[in-house]
Chain A
């Protein structure tokens, strides 16, 4: 069965510092890959997605992610974090079966120091 691993449960960075959140997946073929963000008490917002092609994907709010096939990774990055980025971030995969069905990682909670 496919799985998604987010090894960092909690990360704290200073405002203005760079950020990288890790995501690894386990699946035979390259699935579709997504990053979502969830603010407290809210639903999930789609940050970016990777289907094929250019391995560096740009998303909303200044986020980007890089797909590395050799490492089965899809890490999320932001060059300069803002206090409003404090939230929980989820990596997800779609195994390309019929329909839309996502498997989510356990999430990384980001705290931002002023």
Chain B
């Protein structure tokens, strides 16, 4: 099976702009999660979607949002970008039943 794919892999934006990141899960996986990774804060949970519904949400401001489509593909959006949003954004999919998360390669976002 193909792994989790994320697009784009790299992105440069300026403060105040918005950005949309895309994630395609492993075929058959219905759960998709997003994590932010920074040197200072480490890996932090953003949100999780299952069957197009947000099932869990982390402690991030409302500027961070996401959605999941009927084919399980997911997008996350960050509006009004701040310098501190520069990070590696990782998407993961899961087969459920605590099968563990399978991560994509990430999207590296740089906000200038």
Contacts and interface: CB of A to CB of B under 8 A. Distances in A.
A107 B41 CA distance: 11
A103 B56 CA distance: 13
Interface residues of B, number: 23
Contact of A96 (B98, B101, B105, B106): B98
B102 interface: yes
A71 interface: no
B92 to A, nearest CB: 8
A43 B98 contact: no
Contacts of B33: 100-102
Interface string B34-55: 0100000011010010100001
Given A45-B103, A98-B56, A99-B31, A106 B42 contact: yes
A11 B96 CA distance: 33
A43 B48 contact: no
A98 B103 contact: no
Contacts of A43: 4, 90, 103-106
A102 B105 CA distance: 17
Interface string B1-40: 0001000000000000000000000000001010100000
Nearest to B41: A106
Contacts of B4: 43
Nearest to A42: B105
B102 to A, nearest CB: 6
Interface residues of A, number: 24
Interface string A86-114: 00001000101111111111110000000
B53 to A, nearest CB: 10
B103 A100 contact: no
Given A46-B101, A51-B98, A97 B43 contact: no
A32 B98 contact: yes
Interface of A: 32, 34, 36, 42-46, 49, 51, 90, 94, 96-107
Given A32-B98, A96-B98, A97-B56, 18 more contacts: A34-B100, A34-B101, A43-B106, A44-B103, A45-B103, A49-B100, A51-B98, A99-B31, A99-B50, A100-B33, A100-B48, A100-B94, A100-B98, A101-B48, A101-B56, A102-B45, A104-B43, A105-B42
